[in-house]
Structure 1
Amino acid sequence: MQPSLLTSNASHRQYRGPITTAIFDWAGTVLDFGCIAPVEAFRQVFSDAGVPITIAEARAPMGAAKREHIALILKEADVQARWQAHTGHASNEADVDALYKEFLRVDEINVAKYADLIPGALDTIAHLRARGIAVGSTTGYPREVMKNLIPLAAERNYKPDFVSTVSDVARGRPFPDMILANALALATPDVRGAVVVDDSPTGLLAGLASGMWAVGIAASGNEVGLSLAEWTALSPAEQQAHLTPARAKLERTGAHFVIDTIADLPAVIDAIEALLAAGERP
């Protein structure tokens, strides 16, 4: 045994920066303030199937792959009871497939309606690029939806360097597969120099599982769940009343930082680089 060998090499293994990669979720993080598009799509397809669901029921599994999201909605006791009362049978895989097929059709329309970038997004992306930070992205949307959303975002000048969708990998969130696909595609030198930015607990758990820094988005994300117009209409006290539980839920994942929107990210990058320089790690 040579225990001293590990000790002597420890300083060489310590990554001290800089941040080289930032990997963003899409809806609720970079665009679609409040993560409205998928929520409205889920509610519409369930309503059209004769089993209306609440906003809270539609939002609860956010971050999961969309077909899995539908299955998780159906597993909720109240939803399942309403489903059985309406259809006369417990939901099955064929039901999930039918709902998912309709979701893809509806959401193709919705992503076009809710493709506006979150205020400050382009400034933050420009700031990152000026620092030489690569911009990656992950999403619970399948590739079919992203084929529509990517060009819509490009028209608004958001063009990430790489996009990994849930249909490109073996496992969706909370597993780190999409994030690690970004790290490989973007030639990230060390995962400790990468930051994952996401508005969902499952997205943050995926970031932590990848060994990267995890930054939660509260105000513009799914946990608050208000459109930009609804959000800006609130008083500061009302905004804080929404932010407090949203922040608490994201913090419980173990996220290293929680911010209001993507506009607040540059200061967090500075803070993380200071931590790295001091020898801290995710």
Structure 2
Amino acid sequence: MGTPNTPNTPNTPSTPASRNLVVLDMAGTTVADGGLVERAFERAAERLGVEPGTADHQAKLRYVRDTMGESKISVFRHLFGTEEMARRANSAFEEAYGELVDGGLIAPVPGARETIEKLRAEGRTVVLTTGFARVTQDAVLDALGWQGLADLTLCPADAGGRGRPYPDMVLAAFLRTGAVDDVRRVVVAGDTAYDMLSGRRSGAGLVAGVLTGAHDRAALTGHGATHVLDSVTELPRILLESA
């Protein structure tokens, strides 16, 4: 397993310094999880006594959909009220998601791996972020054979415990990699409104929404996207155009 605290040796920059740190979301942006977040939540909720098909179940599932991209423990704090219940729900969710990942129900967004490799070959530092816990993030990376693909991987616990929409993971990437000397030179890409908020609140100069995940163009632009892309594969072109 890779450590979240020690990034790989940065590539020697060959591109303008203005865009040399790229912070990418995982599920929905670089990873196509086929609705596994919802499926894992439904399994976890049932284990905690939320009966499928009830109004309570539907309301909770709707909140999960609306808050895609947020730290999962934060979602469960809202849904279940107490810290104890939230932690039980989060553990059940992580277990259920891990079971689904182990079942092979996960794949890269088409072209995502090649895009990350291209960005790094251009001299850019790439950081993968998630709202999942480290154990789940590592399970996804292992399933895809992505350990070591990016320069650094971060989860909310690596940034003081606060996930999106807080800017903490983006700022942690900025501080830990040292890839750029101005946060306005950071690029953030994600598929949710919370990704956009996190990027804008961090001060990142380019915040790209992608349409391969949870939220549509209106939600992404409404929460601060500077660009909206059909896929993360368009990002290298956008970076060259905006250099």
TM-score in terms of structure 1 length: 0.70
- Does residue 188 in structure 1 map to residue 179 in structure 2? yes
Residue in 1 aligned with 2:101? 111
Residue in 1 aligned with 2:92? 102
- Does residue 204 in structure 1 map to residue 199 in structure 2? no
Paired residue secondary structure (1:196): strand
CA distance in 1, matches of 2:33, 2:98: 17
Whether contact under 8 Å (2:141, 2:147) holds in the other structure is no
Deviation at 1:158, TM superposition (A): 6.9
2:154 pairs, out of 159, 164, 173, with: 164
CA separation of 1:51 and 1:72: change in aligned 2, threshold 3 A: farther
Q: How does 1:216-231 map to 2 (within 5 A)?
A: 216-218=209-211, 220-223=212-215
Paired residue secondary structure (2:28): coil
2:218 pairs, out of 223, 239, 248, with: 248
1:58 pairs, out of 61, 64, 71, with: 64
CA distance in 2, matches of 1:156, 1:174: 25
CA distance in 1, matches of 2:191, 2:143: 21
CA distance in 1, matches of 2:39, 2:91: 15
Aligned length: 217
- Does residue 120 in structure 1 map to residue 114 in structure 2? no
CA distance in 2, matches of 1:47, 1:60: 20
Deviation at 1:47, TM superposition (A): 2.9
Residue in 2 aligned with 1:215? 208
Residue in 2 aligned with 1:179? 170
Deviations 1:187-207 (A, max 9, x none): 122222221011111111111
Residue in 2 aligned with 1:29? 29
CA distance in 1, matches of 2:101, 2:28: 12
Residue in 1 aligned with 2:11? none
Whether contact under 8 Å (1:116, 1:156) holds in the other structure is no
In proportion to residue count, which structure has more helix? Answer: 1
Deviation at 1:157, TM superposition (A): 7.6
Residue in 2 aligned with 1:261? 231
* Rg comparison, structure with higher value: 1
Deviations 1:213-246 (A, max 9, x none): 111112x1112xxxxxxxxxxxxxxxxxxxxxx1
Whether contact under 8 Å (2:117, 2:149) holds in the other structure is no
Deviation at 1:32, TM superposition (A): 1.9
Code of the residue aligned with 1:104 in structure 2: it is E
CA distance in 2, matches of 1:157, 1:93: 32
CA distance in 2, matches of 1:100, 1:176: 22
Deviation at 1:123, TM superposition (A): 2.4
CA distance in 1, matches of 2:150, 2:100: 21
Report percent identity of matched pairs.
29
Paired residue secondary structure (2:32): coil
Paired residue secondary structure (1:136): strand
Deviations 1:143-171 (A, max 9, x none): 12123222223x25871110111112222
CA distance in 2, matches of 1:156, 1:211: 28
CA distance in 1, matches of 2:141, 2:146: 10
CA separation of 1:157 and 1:145: change in aligned 2, threshold 3 A: closer
- Computed over aligned residues only, the root mean square deviation of the Cα atoms, in angstroms, reads 2.1
Deviations 1:20-58 (A, max 9, x none): 111101100111255x22221112222342333345343
Where does structure 1 lack aligned partners over 5 or more consecutive residues? 1-15, 75-90, 224-245, 274-282
Whether contact under 8 Å (1:137, 1:182) holds in the other structure is no
TM-score in terms of structure 2 length: 0.81
- Does residue 150 in structure 1 map to residue 144 in structure 2? no
Residue in 1 aligned with 2:6? none
Whether contact under 8 Å (2:116, 2:149) holds in the other structure is no
